[in-house]
């Protein structure tokens, strides 16, 4: 993965979130997505914190967008790996966030592990 791809992907992903455009947000994810986040534990009451599949991810993101109407992300770093990308950004409630995203050959996110800190 190149730095140029990482920067472009991050900018598009972030803008979709800041525009609150659920269709554009979901366009970045594979149908078989596995998404693990402390927010999934909190918002869904899901002990594992894992959401599997795009329909479940759509429901989870819809809940999150409803819970945080003033949501705005600010990108700090886009760190490319071999087949992964880590985005470091300011999230809701000014939390520091890092999402480690595995990305397939079609440039779709297949797995996410999200991390947050005050």
Model pLDDT for residues 75-87, shown as the tens digit of each residue: 999 999 999 999 9
Nearest CA-CA partner of 85 in 106, 63, 65, 113: 113
CATH of the domain at 15: 3.10.450.50
- Whole-model pTM: value is 0.94
Q: What would the DSSP string read from start to end of 37-94? A: -HHHHHHH--TT-EEESHHHHHHHHHHHHHH-TT---EEEEEEE-SSEEEEEEE-GGG
Question: Which domain range does residue 71 map to?
Answer: 3-117
What total of structural domains would you count in the chain?
A: 1
pLDDT in tens, 19-67: 999 999 999 999 999 999 999 999 998 899 999 999 999 999 999 999 9
């Amino acid at each position: 993965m190149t730095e140029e791809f990482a920067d472009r992907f991050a900018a598009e992903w972030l803008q979709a979130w800041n525009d609150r455009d659920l269709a554009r947000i979901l366009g970045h994810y594979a149908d078989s997505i596995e998404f693990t986040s402390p927010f999934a534990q909190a918002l869904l009451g899901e002990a594992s914190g894992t959401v599997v599949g795009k329909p479940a991810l759509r429901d989870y993101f819809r809940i999150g967008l409803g819970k945080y109407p003033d949501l705005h992300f600010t990108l700090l770093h886009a760190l490319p790996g071999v087949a992964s990308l880590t985005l470091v950004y300011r999230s809701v409630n000014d939390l520091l966030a890092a999402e480690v995203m595995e990305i397939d050959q079609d440039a779709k996110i297949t797995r996410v592990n999200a991390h947050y800190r005050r």
